[in-house]
Amino acid sequence: MKLQDDPPSGVSGAPTEDNILIWQAIIFGPQDSPFEDGTFKVILEFTEEYPNKPPNVKFLSKMFHPNVYSDGSICLDILQNRWSPTYDVAAILTSLQSLLDEPNPTSPANSVAAQLYQENRKEYNKRVQQVVEWSWMNFPDDEVPEHSETSRGSRRRSSSRDASSGQSTSQPGEFVPQI
């Protein structure tokens, strides 16, 4: 499956125009979760060691979540000690989307969010709702990754660019991340 041609529900992404190793992505908050209706920007930075080593992945959008550090870095096992070369960009993004709905408060990156998640879910949900609303106000149309199409009704976007080949325009011998 190619992420750009047939993205999983609620996620999309594409390499930046000037660097195939840097990807911009969008994750929509999962339905029936506190993050529902949020639009969250993510950056994935690959090295030449991919797929043997995971990309560096960060939320660019403001986030309040037990497993997300204040700088947007993510505490997720598949991006660290449980990485497998079989994971592609779609698997990473869908794992992030699942993490939004199912945090791991026993391995917190944000101790305040973890404590609220465990002890005061109403306040946690209120703080998450503020982040969701902030994501609406800070998501200009021109920052949607090219070739993206999402499955969210009112926030559905698509690009007029040609992504039919699913191929990179990289130079011969240049590394291209698996999508």
Strands 11-15 and 56-59: unpaired
Q: How far apart are CA 119 and CA 63, in angstroms?
A: 19
Q: Domain for residue 133, yes or no? A: yes
Spatial neighbors of 92 by CB under 8 A, at least 6 apart, are 44, 54, 55, 57, 78, 79
Q: Which two tokens stand for residue 150?
A: 């999402």
pLDDT at residue 179 in the model: 57
Q: Domain for residue 2, yes or no? A: no
Q: Domain for residue 122, yes or no? A: yes
Q: Domain for residue 76, yes or no? A: yes
The enclosing domain of 122 has a CATH number of 3.10.110.10
Catalytic residue among 26, 75, 79, 128: 75
Q: Domain for residue 173, yes or no? A: no
Q: Domain for residue 83, yes or no? A: yes
Catalytic, 75? Answer yes
Q: Domain for residue 167, yes or no? A: no
Q: How far apart are CA 106 and CA 104, in angstroms?
A: 5
Name 13's bridge partners.
25
pLDDT at residue 140 in the model: 58
The pTM (predicted TM-score) of the whole model is 0.77
Q: How far apart are CA 38 and CA 64, in angstroms?
A: 12
Number of domains observed in the structure of the chain: 1
For each of the chain's 179 residues, which pLDDT tens digit applies?
467 667 789 999 999 999 999 999 999 999 999 999 999 999 999 999 999 999 999 999 999 999 999 999 999 999 999 999 999 999 999 999 999 999 999 989 999 999 999 999 999 999 999 999 999 987 655 444 443 333 333 333 333 333 333 333 444 444 456 65
CB 88 within 8 A of CB 11: no
Q: What length is written for the chain?
A: 179
Spatial neighbors of 140 by CB under 8 A, at least 6 apart, are none
Q: Domain for residue 72, yes or no? A: yes
Query: Which amino acid belongs to residue 17?
Result: E
pLDDT at residue 96 in the model: 98
Three-state SS sequence of the chain: CCCCCCCCCCEEEEECCCCCCEEEEEEECCCCCCCCCCEEEEEEECCCCCCCCCCEEEECCCCCCCCECCCCEECCHHHCCCCCCCCCHHHHHHHHHHHHHCCCCCCCCCHHHHHHHHHCHHHHHHHHHHHHHHHHHCCCHHHCCCCCCCCCCCCCCCCCCCCCCCCCCCCCCCCCCCC
pLDDT at residue 7 in the model: 74
Q: How far apart are CA 42 and CA 59, in angstroms?
A: 4
**Residue range(s) defining the domain that contains residue 129:** 11-140
